[in-house]
Each structure stands twice: as structure tokens, then as C-alpha cells.
Chain A
Amino acid sequence: MSKSLFEKIWEKHIVKTIDGGPSVLYIDKHLIHEVTSPQAFAGLNKRGIKVFRPKQIVATADHNVPTIDQDLPIKEELSRLQVDALIKNCAEYGIELYGLGHPFQGIVHVIGPELGITQPGMTIVCGDSHTSTHGAFGNIAFGIGTSEVEMVMATQCLLQSKPKLMRINVDGTLNKGVVSKDIILYIISLISASGATGYAVEFAGSAIRSLSMEARMTICNMSIEMGARCGMIAPDETTFNYMKGRLFAPKENEWNEKVSYWKTLFSDDDAIFDKEININAADIEPMITYGTNPGMGIGISKHIPALNEITEKEKPYFEKSLHYMDLQPGANIIGKKVDYVFIGSCTNSRIEDLRMVASFVKGKKKADNVQVWVVPGSKQVEKQAIEEGINKIFEEAGFNLRQPGCSACLGMNEDKIPAGKYCISTSNRNFEGRQGPNARTMLASPLTAAAAAITGEVSDVRELL
């Protein structure tokens, strides 16, 4: 019988199925961080049980960490306590921790792939919704809550119901200045922030196949922003080339065996999807969001929807959102003054993102009215950026290159956007207050963010290339 990519992996991980209920799904890899794990460890402790398979867990500190002076003790007390609790718990339960000061430390969804921990065919979970990122390698990866973190620690399993299946095909060639972030912002603007709730989404089509691994990760990363349970892309030569030689990737004979298995991981020709969407890559222009959820995005040359373009039912939310953003219905977005540019987060903080920004800003200077923060996704990305001289380019442009962490993506550390200020951000969420109380976030690609950094306002990067 023909099967989809999702089904092939799902079925291999079912321990058993409860009659009329969910299935017991075996989890291969479990990633943890300081914010959503302490209560899970406390739960184990209370039950007096151990971690079942500590070798299948990898920990890092990312959400709460400062992005300057990482060699000094964390100043903010509660953040420090949380990071210290992680150190203590990992030591006590025998879990590998890539904490502050470790050469592998970084945002959990950046380090998994770059260390070769993330592999095709696996089930991967983390107490973090952007776990969907890992699906770019052709695996089932999804975010879980803390109770579930505790379950996986205790049993390496979760109770899950099989989601519905959706395939999104993006075919054709991307326009100049359009990158993978624009593809995913375009898709979400098309189907809305809840358009894929209840579905596992496979991204396919020639435009997706032609993307690098980094670019694929950006797409899968944001599949949660349309509500999807997970996002995935079938592994291919691009995947294998990226993985080969990475620290925890299989070696020698095992590598060959794995690759021949991984090559079977694709949706069969007549696999059945509950929903299928076709997109022409040529229809996509650089995207930007104007509202307070990631579905409120437009092509950069377009205007913010006018009131008569919004249904009666959507009006209250739309108006509330624009009020928060202090933007006018029907207005153009190009030319809007920007105060901050944030280049970072698990969506766009990989070396390729930094290279993309560096090649655009080389020899240019940032506008006086903007502050630009570049936060690499990991120590390894930071190291490579320095080796390639990208740090120099940023320095000359007046960009502030910081140390790895989640940073202004969620403003848990000191990196907050002040109230009322506009930030063009390469992160994934423009919710009210996400980057700091009353901060106003506009999501865009690293290129569009870099363009704004140079001009000081929302700009069409195509005109600057």
C-alpha cells in the first residue's frame, strides 16, 4: 500500500495503540532547555523515578541566557536560577548538557542539526513549539508541553493521535530577492495562523527541493505558525551532503546503511493527503507582516488591507491588531520608519543567514535611526562567522554582533525591544509583547531586515540588490 513520508516514519515508532484512543509513540531524540524542563525534573523527583534513557536526551541553555558577557555569571537572578537548575538536573540524571561556555551551546533547534543529532526518519521532541524545524531532515519533530517532557523522560514515549496530512507543493523558480522565509510567510498569509491546525504538513515541489538545508529549516520552523503539528521535507542528496561528517552523524558502514534507508523516506506517488495546496514560486515577493500574528503578512509592495477588504467577522481582531501596531488600514508599508533590526532566532540565525546578510551589507553602513542586533544561533555559527570575517563586515556596518541565544525573539533576557518601537525581526512571532511589552514586531527575511537596517525604513530589497 502506498504511504506518505509521515506514515512511513509514524508507523515505525508505534509501540501500541489504545483501542479507540491514541497511540504510544516512541521518541528517538529528546532535546531540552532551561525553561520548560525544571517542572518535569521535579515531577520525576516527586515520583521517585529516574530518567529512562538519558543518552537519548541532549540539553542546552538558550532561552534565558544573556547575549553579552556570557563568560560572567548571569546577572538576572531568576534566569540564573533556571540555568543553574538545568545544570544540576543534567548532572544528577546523567544528561549531556551543552550549556553556557560549551563550544556546542546555542539555540536548541540550531544545534541539533549542526551537530548531526537531527537525522531523517527519527521522532524528535522538545518542550518548544519550533521543534518543527528538525522536520526539514525528513523526520517527525514536534513541540510538547512540560508534562509531556516528563513523560518522555520517564518512558521515552508519548500518547499521540495521528494528525491529518497536508502537502504543500511549491513549484517553479523564486524571484530575485525572495528567500525561504518569504515562502513560508507567504504560505501562512494564504492559509492563516490556524490554517494547518491538526495537520502534519509535508513541503514538496521543485522550489522546495532546490533549497539548501538552512533554508528548508526556516520553512519547517514556521510550520507551527500556521498551527501545524509538524512540518517535514523528504530527505535527498542535499540532506545527506549537509549531514555527512557532522559530529553525531553515522560513520562509515553505518552511514551507507542509513543513507540507503533514508532514501526510502518519501511520499509514494499515490500517497493520500487530506489536503493539498499548490503554490507557484513566481507569485511570491519579499514578505513582511503588519499585524500581531504571523498570518498577517503582505508582499512588500502591497498595502496593508483596507477595512473594506476585511470580513465583518475578522474586523474586531484586525482593528485591535492595527491599533497595537499603530498602523493604518490601507496604508503602504514601504517607507515606514524602523527603530530596531533583529537578525536571529531559530528561524534565521544559521551561518547561511549571516552570510546572506553580510554579502548584502558589505561596504554599507546602517542608518542612524536604527539599532541592529545580530544574534548567531550557536557558538559554532559565531565561530564560523568570525573565521569568515563576517564579524568585520558587521562591525563596519555598525551592526552589533552578540553571543548565541534566543535573545529578542522572545525577550526573556535583557534583549527587549522598548515599548512603542518598531522592530524588523527575522524571528517567527509578532504577537503582542513578544519582543518586550508593547514592542511592535514586523517579521521578514534576513535580506529584508538587512535592507531596513541600511535605509532605516521598510524597503524593497529588490531595488537595492
Chain B
Amino acid sequence: MSKAINIIQSSVVPLNTENVDTDQIIPARFLKATTRDGFGENLFRDWRYESDGQPKKDFVLNDPTYHGKILVAAKNFGCGSSREHAAWAIKDYGFDVVVSSFFADIFKGNALNNFLLPVTVSDAFLQKIFDAVNKDSSAQIIVNLQAQTITIEATGEQESFDINNYKKTCMLNGYDDIDYLLSINKDIEAFELKHDH
């Protein structure tokens, strides 16, 4: 499986809620697995399903109008617990990009480590995306990692987003941090000799 990400063009799933915490993304009772697979099934479990397992009609993931590889959410997405299961669940469900005007730190790191691209846009641009999707549920958004741009296809409106250069290279090439860290093993051992801990 190639993990690399560059250009993603897709319709979006709009989740216009602030402060989506990782307990909502994947509730703790679903963290009992010892593998990384299958968490997509329980993504947004308690917003998505009634306690008897019936899908909740008014939740956006259950609305057939919306689908795509890009999840668009309001401010402070991914706050709370450090559970990487949140990033696994979103990726496993089929998203490659999450767009928000503000991400919690740990979530952002976890997303990047799983080739799920977090794109931070301005409040104004976020509103434009929600407006575009309101107008046309299949509105296309184009995320170009190489160029660091996000574009609303219908209007051509565009914004640039920030990403650390190192992380960008990793995402474009499918490299893990761990590959890099293993490659500098000699430096780490040399550091340990003079480090008192």
C-alpha cells in the first residue's frame, strides 16, 4: 500500500461542529483492540448510532447526500485524549484529509503519522467551504500538498496552508518518522554518552 499523498480532489463530508474531541471520534469503549484495523466502523459511534445500533438519520455520515475523502470540521478539531485510534478511525473510514480552522496538537501529529493530512484554513475560508457544500453537496475541493493549496473548484477560491517542510516530504514520499530516527541511530548513541539522565 502506498501511503504517499499529494493531490486529492473530492467531494466533502461537512461536520460543522466545534471542539470535536477524540472521545466523540472514537469512544473509549472501542479502544480495546490490539491491532490498528477496523476502527472506521466505530468512527463517531455515539453521534452516528442510537444505543440500539440504529443509524441516527440526522448525522452527516448517515446522510447519503455527502461522501468523499475530505472531512471538513469546525474549530478545535481533535482535542482531548492522545488516542491515535482517532486518526486510525478517520483514515480507516476512508478520509485522506481533514480540514478545520484549528487542530489540537496531539491529534495533528497523530494524523500526520498516519498519512491523514490535516489542513488548517482561515475561519473565512472554512465558511466558504461550508457555503459551497450547502449550495452543492457534491462540490469538489482540491487539496494540493506539493503546492500547499486548497481550492474550491466551482469558484476557484483558493488558500495556502502551512505544513512543516520535513513532514511534507514524508507525506509526499510515504516516509515514516521512525525510518528517519532509526537511520540516525549512531547520533543517538553518541548523544547518550554525554547525556546524564
Chain A residues engaging chain B, CB cutoff 8 angstroms: 12-13, 15-16, 18, 20-22, 24, 26, 28, 35-36, 38-39, 42-43, 47, 49, 56, 63-64, 78-79, 81-82, 85, 122, 127-129, 131, 143-148, 150-151, 154-159, 161, 163, 193-194, 197-198, 227, 229, 293, 314, 316-317, 320, 410-412, 419, 429, 431-434, 437-438
- Is B178 within 8 A of A85, CB to CB? no
Which chain A residue lies CB-closest to B168? Answer: A21
- Proximity string of chain B (179-192) to chain A, C-beta cutoff 8 Å, 1 when within and 0 when not: 01110110110011
Does B54 sit within 8 A of A, measured CB to CB? no
CB-CB under 8 A from A63, the residues of chain B are 28, 31
- Is B84 within 8 A of A21, CB to CB? no
CB-CB under 8 A from A156, the residues of chain B are 188, 192
- Is A26 within 8 A of B19, CB to CB? no
- Proximity string of chain B (96-136) to chain A, C-beta cutoff 8 Å, 1 when within and 0 when not: 00000011111001100110000000000000000000000
- Is A412 within 8 A of B184, CB to CB? no
CB-CB under 8 A from A49, the residues of chain B are 182
CB-CB under 8 A from A429, the residues of chain B are 21, 23, 80-81
CB distance from B75 to the nearest CB of A (A): 7
CB distance from B140 to the nearest CB of A (A): 26
Instruction: Enumerate 24 A-B pairs (CB-CB under 8 Å) in ascending A order.
Output: A15-B184, A26-B191, A26-B197, A35-B83, A36-B82, A39-B35, A82-B32, A144-B82, A148-B113, A151-B178, A154-B181, A155-B182, A157-B188, A316-B18, A317-B74, A320-B17, A410-B28, A412-B29, A412-B32, A419-B51, A429-B21, A429-B80, A433-B27, A433-B46
Does B71 sit within 8 A of A, measured CB to CB? no
* Known contacts A129-B82, A431-B23; A412/B166 CB under 8 A: no
CB-CB under 8 A from A127, the residues of chain B are 82, 84
Does B149 sit within 8 A of A, measured CB to CB? no
- Is B164 within 8 A of A411, CB to CB? no
- Is B36 within 8 A of A39, CB to CB? yes
Which chain B residue lies CB-closest to A126? Answer: B82
- Is A154 within 8 A of B34, CB to CB? no
CB distance from B58 to the nearest CB of A (A): 12
- Is A155 within 8 A of B185, CB to CB? yes
CB-CB under 8 A from A85, the residues of chain B are 34
* Known contacts A26-B188, A36-B84, A145-B113; A155/B181 CB under 8 A: yes
CB distance from B118 to the nearest CB of A (A): 13
CB-CB under 8 A from B103, the residues of chain A are 197
- Is A154 within 8 A of B165, CB to CB? no
- Is B76 within 8 A of A197, CB to CB? yes
CB-CB under 8 A from B17, the residues of chain A are 316-317, 320
CB-CB under 8 A from A432, the residues of chain B are 23-24, 46
Does B72 sit within 8 A of A, measured CB to CB? no
CB distance from B45 to the nearest CB of A (A): 9
For the complex of A and B, list the 3 residue pairs with the smallest distance between their C-beta atoms, beginning with the closest: A21-B166, A145-B84, A78-B32
* Known contacts A21-B165, A22-B164, A36-B82; A147/B184 CB under 8 A: no
CB-CB under 8 A from B195, the residues of chain A are 12-13, 26
Does B79 sit within 8 A of A, measured CB to CB? yes
Output the residue of B75, B106, B110, B184 with the most chain A CB within 10 A: B106
Does B152 sit within 8 A of A, measured CB to CB? no
- Is B166 within 8 A of A22, CB to CB? yes
Does B87 sit within 8 A of A, measured CB to CB? yes
Q: How far is the CA of A437 from the CA of B180 in the complex (A)?
A: 41
- Is B180 within 8 A of A198, CB to CB? no
CB-CB under 8 A from B80, the residues of chain A are 129, 429, 431
CB-CB under 8 A from A35, the residues of chain B are 31-32, 83
Q: How far is the CA of A18 from the CA of B20 in the complex (A)?
A: 32
Does B157 sit within 8 A of A, measured CB to CB? no
Contact among B35, B106, B192 for A129, CB-based, below 8 A:
B106
* Known contacts A24-B187, A36-B84, A129-B82; A411/B104 CB under 8 A: no
CB-CB under 8 A from A412, the residues of chain B are 28-29, 31-32
In the complex, besides A128-B81, A145-B84, A411-B29, 12 extra interface pairs with C-beta distance below 8 angstroms are A21-B165, A35-B31, A36-B82, A56-B197, A63-B28, A85-B34, A147-B114, A155-B178, A155-B182, A159-B180, A293-B19, A429-B21
Q: How far is the CA of A433 from the CA of B80 in the complex (A)?
A: 13
- Is B24 within 8 A of A433, CB to CB? yes
CB-CB under 8 A from B85, the residues of chain A are 146
- Is B104 within 8 A of A227, CB to CB? yes
CB-CB under 8 A from A143, the residues of chain B are 82, 106
* Known contacts A145-B84, A197-B104; A24/B184 CB under 8 A: yes
Q: How far is the CA of A194 from the CA of B102 in the complex (A)?
A: 9
User: Which residues from 24 to 62 on chain B have a C-beta closer than 8 Å to any C-beta of chain A?
Assistant: 24, 27-29, 31-36, 46, 51
CB-CB under 8 A from B113, the residues of chain A are 145, 147-148
CB distance from A251 to the nearest CB of B (A): 16
* Known contacts A26-B191, A64-B32, A433-B46; A16/B184 CB under 8 A: yes
